[in-house]
Amino acid sequence: MRFSGPNLYYDYKNKLGRFDFFDNYYDMNNSWGSINMTILWIDTVVWFVYPKVKQCTLRSKNLPLISPDWLKMTHYVGRTLFREMYSDVWQFPNVDDLDGMRYYHKVGSSSETKIPLRSTNQINDPGATDYFDFTIGPSHVNLYQIPKFCKEY
């Protein structure tokens, strides 16, 4: 059985990013409910786009796309037990008063120093233990267009 997760598109050179969730990806019995959405980055502007209901939310005007050398803009917090897995933790600078945005990298034990096995993100995000498969190559510029139903900021 092959895992099929969300789609992630990343074009750092042009400061573009897109993260697509599909119907029932998070069919969890909690306040998040079932999510069908896209997170769209254009330079430092982040949109939450809900294509089924044709709505958008401007999330931030000041959150840069994560750079290939993203560790330079964070500080290392330490190692912790996170959702029953040991993780190294980095703290991002306070951008738009985000809810303590941290980045978690899973490691096998409390003392392991090898390359992490998988990455996670915000502690309050139910997607914090997502798995990702990556395909290297160009993505079409149309993937990063703000839908017409989104209001201009």
pLDDT at 46: 92
pLDDT at 47: 93
> The pTM is what?
0.60
Long-range residue pairs from 61-67, CB within 8 A, at least 24 positions apart, any chain: 61/96, 61/153, 62/95, 62/96, 63/95, 63/96, 63/98, 64/15, 64/95, 65/10, 65/12, 65/15, 65/16, 65/17, 65/41, 66/17, 67/12
Give the residue from 103, 100, 61, 107 showing the smallest Cα distance to 81. Answer: 107
**What type of residue is 66?**
I
Q: Which residues of the chain have pLDDT under 70?
A: 1-6, 22-35, 83, 94-100, 108-136, 152-153
